Amino acid sequence: MTATTTTIAHLKITLDDVKPEVLRRIEVPFNIRLDRLHLAVQAAMGWTNTHLYEIRAGDVGWGVPDPDWGDGPLDARKAHLNKVLEDVGTKTVKYIYDFGDGWDHTITIERLTDPVQGLTYPFLIEAKGRCPPEDVGGPPGYAEFLEAIRDPEHKRHDE
């Protein structure tokens, strides 16, 4: 995936293990830093950026390093999407948000293009499905949440 610094990556972001499907398509500079990619995913999905995250490619992860946690993620501020994908040799990365709830996302590079004159990036192209609420308990908790909303007799409906 050789590209110039002005190349735009078209990304498909899928929230794994939830129904109905939650999907976003965004465009970002291909050389975006991973900490900025995290913020773009947060905005596109509708998350509130109140939990830790990790972007994984192969066996390597990037996020917010913790000096007290020696084997934690590498610093996302020091890695760029294009270099990570080139080094690992993949077109797909995993984005994990909220380690307690365990929201796993698959981010796929669909294609690379030139930027559109006058357009500001990141840019949301498509949004399908609503993002689950924060702290709902991950995919199993979200499934129960949806059941409770639909059924006025459900024991957790009023919550």
Q: Which amino acid is at 51?
A: H
Q: Residue 36 class from Cβ within 10 Å (0-12 exposed, 13-18 middle, 19+ buried)? A: middle
Question: 84, 91, 95: which is closest to 38 by C-alpha?
Answer: 95
Confidence of residue 5 (pLDDT cuts 50, 70, 90): low
CB proximity list for 100: less than 8 A, separation 6 or greater? 51, 135, 138
pLDDT at 6 over 70: yes
List the helix and strand counts (H, then E) for the chain. 3, 8
For residue 152, whether the previous peptide bond is cis, meaning omega lies within 30 degrees of 0, is: no
What was the pLDDT predicted at 8?
A: 97
CATH number at 64 reads: 3.10.290.30
The rounded mean pLDDT for the chain is 92
Residue 54 lies in a domain: yes
Residue 106 lies in a domain: yes
Please tell me the total count of domains within the chain.
Answer: 1
What was the pLDDT predicted at 101?
A: 96
Instruction: Tell me the pLDDT tens digit for each residue of 16-69.
Output: 999 999 999 999 999 999 999 999 999 999 999 999 999 999 989 999 988 777
Residue 62 lies in a domain: yes
Residue 146 lies in a domain: no
Task: Give the domain range for residue 81.
Answer: 8-132
Confidence of residue 2 (pLDDT cuts 50, 70, 90): very low
Q: What DSSP state is assigned to residue 11?
A: E
Residue 20 lies in a domain: yes
Q: Between 1 and 36, name the one with better pLDDT.
A: 36
Residue 158 lies in a domain: no
Residue 138 lies in a domain: no
What was the pLDDT predicted at 76?
A: 97
Residue 154 lies in a domain: no
Instruction: Tell me the pLDDT tens digit for each residue of 99-121.
Output: 999 999 999 999 999 999 999 99
